[in-house]
């Protein structure tokens, strides 16, 4: 394990930025957001960025391919460019876990090469949460806020940053920073982990359980009468899906440039009324059906298809951002189960 005092953090960032592009959460008037580091930018202490770091691997819009037309000839232009290694610093445990969930979608056959290119080049430096918020419930999905995954795992104390390499990528990064950091034991980190565990044990959602959901529960929950009341006031605004680190629906659209076509992929939302509109009509005609789809996907369909892994990481963004104060916790409590009922 390596250590650097906090007064040298800017030097550390400058050194990383010399090697790779470095992105980190910074405070803005609209909340914390990831920005490329430049001198004068300081690391935010916020737990959640407003938008999750899924943008790095699955951007909100991306140009997939261009078609150039001349007479009767169509040229297909591959817009993909091999990206360079980049470092994302300060990702919380919940958001790091969301990458596993996205990987199962985008890296299973047929592999999404756009996503894979960025995933291969991203170096994840995670940050333990010293004081998880009242909206946090990552523990419900067996995520430990004190021990995130990542290529390098960081713990920040009052006066120092502790860095622990967990992968080859992480070891290479820390080796390049060796002259700035010093070797240390794990005592301070272990102490911090204990304090975090004590704090987690006091959070209001500490007992929220997902055990009644999961693999094979479609028939049990699909027809539940509770969906009506739960979905009644949903505006279908899609905010919950856009801030969610694990939502991965998208739409593909072509734009006529006058001399060709640009094909874009854009985030979409299963909460939107036209999400399932097809030539024959729409297979989900009510907000109840759309609302049910989102939560059944996270709590039942995804785990059914992915060895029991839930498609929620308990980040709490949907709790703080939904304009009508509806969220996955309310759904789990209402439907669920013996422990949450």
For ligand SF4, the closer CB: 203 or 322 = 322
| Distance in Å, CB of 105 to ligand SF4, minimum | 14
SS (H, E, C) 19-58: HCEEEEEEEECCEEEEEECCCCCCCCCCCCCCCCHHHHCC
Instruction: Write down the least CB distance from residue 243 to ligand SF4, Å.
Output: 6
Calpha distance 80→259 (Å, rounded): 20
Q: Which is nearer to ligand SF4, 56 or 162 (CB)?
A: 56
SS3 288: helix
Closest CA to 154 of 179, 188, 180: 188
| Rounded Cα gap, residues 193 and 196, in angstroms | 5
Identify which of residues 160 and 243 has a Cβ nearer to ligand SF4 in the complex.
243
To ligand SF4, the closest distance from the beta carbon of 135 in angstroms equals 8
| CA–CA dist 166, 36 (Å, integer) | 24
Could you tell me the sign of the dihedral formed by the alpha carbons of 11, 16, 21, 24, in that order? negative
Give the Cβ contact number of residue 156 at 10 Å: 18
Residues 68 and 75 sit within 8 Å (Cβ to Cβ): yes
Tell me how far, at minimum, the Cβ of 80 lies from ligand SF4, in Å.
29
Cβ burial of 330 (10 Å; 0-12, 13-18, 19+) is: middle
Q: Which C-beta is closer to ligand SF4: that of 59 or that of 260?
A: 59
The helix-helix angle for 113-121 and 93-106 (nearest 10°) equals 140
Q: Which is nearer to ligand SF4, 265 or 298 (CB)?
A: 298
Cβ 224 to ligand SF4 shortest distance, Å? 17
Residue 55's region, left for phi above 0, alpha for psi from -120 to 50, else beta, is: alpha
Task: State the nearest-atom distance from the C-beta of 327 to ligand SF4, in Å.
Answer: 6
Q: How far apart are CA 302 and CA 317, in angstroms?
A: 20
Q: 162 or 291: whose CB is closer to ligand SF4?
A: 291
Interacting residues toward ligand SF4 by CB under 6 A:
234-240, 243-246, 271, 298, 312-318, 322-324, 326, 328
Nearer to ligand SF4, 4 or 136 (CB): 136
Q: Residue 147: which of 97, 210, 88, 209 has the closest Cα?
A: 97
How many other CB atoms are there within 10 angstroms of residue 158's CB atom?
Answer: 8
Which lies closer to ligand SF4 via its Cβ, residue 163 or residue 244? 244
């Amino acid at each position: 394990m390596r250590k650097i005092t906090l007064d040298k953090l800017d030097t550390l960032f400058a050194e990383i930025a010399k090697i790779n592009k470095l992105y980190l959460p910074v405070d803005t008037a609209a909340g914390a957001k990831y920005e490329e580091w430049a001198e004068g930018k300081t690391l935010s202490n916020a737990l959640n960025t407003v938008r999750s770091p899924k943008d790095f691997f699955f951007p909100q819009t991306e140009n997939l391919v261009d078609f150039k037309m001349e007479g009767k000839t169509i040229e297909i232009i591959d817009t993909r460019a091999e990206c360079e290694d980049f470092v994302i610093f300060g990702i919380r445990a919940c958001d790091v876990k969301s990458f596993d969930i996205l990987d199962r979608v985008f890296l299973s056959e047929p592999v999404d090469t756009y996503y894979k290119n960025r995933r291969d080049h991203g170096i994840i430096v995670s940050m333990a949460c010293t004081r998880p918020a009242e909206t946090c419930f990552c523990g419900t999905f067996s995520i430990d806020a004190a021990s995130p995954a990542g290529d390098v795992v960081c713990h920040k104390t009052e006066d120092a940053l502790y860095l622990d390499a967990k992968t080859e990528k992480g070891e290479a990064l820390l080796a390049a920073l060796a002259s700035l950091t010093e070797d240390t034991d794990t005592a301070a980190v272990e102490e911090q982990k204990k304090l975090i565990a004590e704090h987690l044990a006091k959070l209001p959602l500490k007992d929220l359980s997902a055990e009644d959901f999961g693999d094979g529960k479609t028939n049990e929950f699909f027809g539940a009468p509770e969906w009506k009341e739960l979905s009644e006031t949903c505006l279908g605004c899609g905010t919950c899906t856009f801030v969610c680190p694990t939502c991965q629906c998208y739409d593909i659209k072509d734009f006529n440039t006058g001399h060709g076509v640009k094909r874009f992929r854009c985030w979409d939302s299963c909460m939107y009324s036209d999400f399932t509109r097809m030539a024959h009509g729409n297979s989900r005609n009510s907000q109840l059906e759309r609302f049910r789809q989102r939560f059944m996907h996270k709590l039942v369909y995804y785990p059914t298809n992915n060895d029991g892994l839930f498609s929620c990481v308990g980040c709490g963004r949907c709790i703080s951002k939904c304009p009508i104060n509806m969220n996955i916790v309310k759904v789990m409590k209402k439907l669920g189960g013996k422990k949450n009922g």
